[in-house]
Amino acid sequence: MASTPETEGQKPKHRPIVRIGIFIIAHSFIVSVVCCTAGVLALLLLPVLAKKTYVSENALMPGSAIPMITDQDVSGANNFINELTSLNSKSQSLNIEIPRLIALHMANLGGEVSYHMFQNQPNKFHPLHFFTSTDTEANNVNQTCESYATNTVGIIRAPRGDGKESIVLVTPYNPVNLSPNETLSLGIAYSVFSLLTQVSWLAKDIIWLAADSQHGQYNSVAAWLKDYHTPSFGGFGKLHDDECHISNDIIEMEVSDTLRRAGTMAAALVIKVANTGEAGEQDALNIYAEASNGQMPNLDLINVVSYLAVHGQGLRVQVDKLVSLLDSTWLKFIGEVFETVGKIARSVNPQWKFGISVKEYVEGSATLVSSLYNQALGVPTGSHGAFRDYQVDAITMEISPKLFSNSKGRQTELLFRGGRLVEGVIRSVNNLLEKFHQSFFLYLLTSSNKFVSVGVYMIAFLLLVAPLPVLAASLFSDTIKSYVKSEKNQPFKSWRWLYPTKTVFLVHLWGAIISLLPYFIYQIPDSQPTSRLLIWASLSLFILIVLGSFFRARSAEWALLKSVTVSSAFIGLCLMSVINFATAEIGALLLVPMCLMTKPWRVAGKVQSALNLVLVIIGFPGATFFVVKSVLGFENGSSLVEFWYWVESLWAWNSATYIYICMVHLPCWILCIYILLHPC
């Protein structure tokens, strides 16, 4: 921003910060290349920089008490499982019989039982769902009794507690099609429940939610949580038809009609049993932690479960990882490079503990990619995601025995193991005086006991995104200098960015419009996914052409247009990084190279134009989807249909990723294409 003043003779001195700024802007190309490579390198380095997890909250003290679960509890659980299995095989209206059986057992153990009936709310797309939590009003369609599902809720009041806090155990099951795994998970919960009615150390109430998941596991838990947290002032419990009530014809059981509450929830555990079908050496425990929009529970909860599982029960703890990456050769190559660098560093100074083995690196990368992808999608990985909306930390624990057999001995052993694990976790969480707050909320897992915290992964993102404002400033100052030099003598030189801003604004408006289009497309009855996708694409193109006639008026200089585009990409990426970091990281990897390199093809050379074309093709979200799916080897069904279902899942779950794609990624992509084809 220096100019030659007419009167002063000497060169004016800038303030130091302005001088640094001018230096960086003058060398913007080198700065961009260095920052981008550093950003990608930092991302590849993340599995190496992962630290071991540790329990931050001192009050938790996992594993410091001997498990108290007894044979009596487990044998009671076995009887319960047998009754369930026999009921499953003979009875008809399982919709009502199984909740009644569970309620009977809960009441016999001494808990307070209540039913929670809810209707299935289909996930419909409504534009305002992203910004407000609209109450889904009761559907106007008259639904019969069969559409009601019944959650059975049992509460143990802590003898020494004040009733202000509670711990929730969730066991989802499908009464229409009860599988042996679900009976096992119900059995584990039964054994823990029967133990906890007798212990003296309980300070928080225990809620056991046997969730009826015939309409989906997430929906059942979400419906119960919504009713739990919505205060009702009289008459709420009588909303349902009287015939749909489960009649209490067993005299000694008192089942409440209204919703029983037990205070704020300190933590929630969703217990499932799965059979992986492969024989390993150990029983395995899979932990699923991601909630909606990439939110994670407090790391301490995962640490406690992981510690107790490994050290207490000898289970092998696993987190979701991308299996197809475990064989990739380029990842192994990068791992070997890092290992060599680590060896060199250690030989120089033995205290630098840098570098991990190739196998660890490859597994860490696979887990990291899966963790990033799950967080980026913004779709919860299980019914524990419903708890996060109410700021309750929750995870899903899926126990998979190494050899699934129907033998009684295996079943008892599994009940013992699972029971002790759940009891240990509850005992730890029981010690808490405050909510989970000590450990991290923003992290990425590279294995079940290694994590990368926000302070580390944010650096990779910032390095990747830093060239954007530098490039915008350099393009802008170059344009201003060229105006000064050309002596056009126009008074409003520094306001000429207003014209490209109008263009960029119109394109973003287009992005907002097409994000709302599916709402109207759904009103068309009986349409196939492929036709819906084609209608959406053609409508978007049409609206773009209509809007394009508005910004044909002034063909602004491409440099200013690129500067404004890059600034808007920067603002969009930074905003998204606050909402959902993983989306912003993946979006930055796609968007930043494309935005930095785009130039009109008449100005740039042939090589650069070809590279720009490749980047632009990769930058389209649909193309990325296809490329990723084909490279990582998932091919099922027609890809167009799959793409539509993928996008549909994004807006069905109110994921902010959908808004990011429509309002930041697509407009910047369109603008980069426009700059590429600019007639200058």
| Alpha carbon distance 108, 111 (integer Å) | 7
Does 12 participate in binding another protein (rule CB under 8 A)?
yes
Interface residue with another protein, options 26, 61, 138, 575 (CB under 8 A) = 575
Sheet holding 443-447, edge to edge: 51-52, 450-453, 443-447
Does 135 participate in binding another protein (rule CB under 8 A)?
no
Interface residue with another protein, options 75, 123, 501, 649 (CB under 8 A) = 501
List, in sequence order, every beta strand (DSSP E) within 416-483. Answer: 443-447, 450-453
Residue number with CB closer to another protein (17 or 545): 17
Q: Which of 306, 326, 324 is nearest to 316 (CA)?
A: 306
| Alpha carbon distance 108, 433 (integer Å) | 31
Q: How far is the CB of 254 from another protein (least distance, A)?
A: 37
Q: Using CB under 8 A, which of the segments 71-79, 518-526, 528-536, 559-567 binds another protein?
A: 559-567
Residues 253-282 that bind another protein (CB under 8 A): none
Number of residues that bind another protein (CB under 8 A): 30
Does 14 participate in binding another protein (rule CB under 8 A)?
yes
Phi, psi of 633 (to 5 degrees): 80, 25
Residue number with CB closer to another protein (288 or 436): 436
Q: How far is the CB of 651 from another protein (least distance, A)?
A: 19
Does 512 participate in binding another protein (rule CB under 8 A)?
no
Interface residue with another protein, options 381, 448, 567, 609 (CB under 8 A) = 567
Q: How far is the CB of 133 from another protein (least distance, A)?
A: 9
Does 330 participate in binding another protein (rule CB under 8 A)?
no
Is the separation of the CB atoms in 413 and 420 below 8 Å? no
Residue number with CB closer to another protein (202 or 468): 468
The identity of residue 551, as a single letter, is F
DSSP H helices, 50-70, are: none
Does 441 participate in binding another protein (rule CB under 8 A)?
yes
Q: How far is the CB of 464 from another protein (least distance, A)?
A: 18
Does 571 participate in binding another protein (rule CB under 8 A)?
yes
Alpha-carbon Rg for the chain in angstroms: 29
How far is residue 672 CA from its own chain's centroid? 29
Residues 447-486 that bind another protein (CB under 8 A): 473, 476
Interface residue with another protein, options 497, 551, 651, 674 (CB under 8 A) = 497
Is the separation of the CB atoms in 279 and 402 below 8 Å? yes
Q: How far is the CB of 618 from another protein (least distance, A)?
A: 27
Is the separation of the CB atoms in 203 and 163 below 8 Å? no
Q: How far apart are the first and last CA of the chain?
A: 26
Does 578 participate in binding another protein (rule CB under 8 A)?
yes
Does 409 participate in binding another protein (rule CB under 8 A)?
no
Residues 532-551 that bind another protein (CB under 8 A): none
Q: How far is the CB of 174 from another protein (least distance, A)?
A: 31
| Alpha carbon distance 321, 311 (integer Å) | 22
DSSP 438: S
CB neighbours of residue 447 within 10 Å = 22
394: three-class secondary structure by DSSP: strand
CA angle 654, 658, 663 (to 5 degrees): 130
| Alpha carbon distance 634, 620 (integer Å) | 19
Does 233 participate in binding another protein (rule CB under 8 A)?
no
Q: Using CB under 8 A, which of the segments 6-14, 39-47, 324-332, 547-555 binds another protein?
A: 6-14
Does 491 participate in binding another protein (rule CB under 8 A)?
yes
Interface residue with another protein, options 579, 589, 604, 616 (CB under 8 A) = 579
Q: Using CB under 8 A, which of the segments 3-11, 58-66, 220-228, 588-596 binds another protein?
A: 3-11
CA angle 50, 53, 57 (to 5 degrees): 140
Chain position carrying tokens 């560093």: 345
Helix axes 358-377, 329-348, angle to 10 degrees: 120
Residues 377-396 that bind another protein (CB under 8 A): 391
| Alpha carbon distance 43, 592 (integer Å) | 15
Residue number with CB closer to another protein (74 or 560): 560
Helical (H) or strand (E) element with 32 = helix 28-49
Does 1 participate in binding another protein (rule CB under 8 A)?
yes
Residue number with CB closer to another protein (414 or 429): 429
- Residues near another protein (CB under 8 A) are 1-3, 5-6, 12, 14-15, 295, 391, 441-442, 473, 476, 489, 491-495, 497, 501, 563-564, 567, 571, 574-575, 578-579
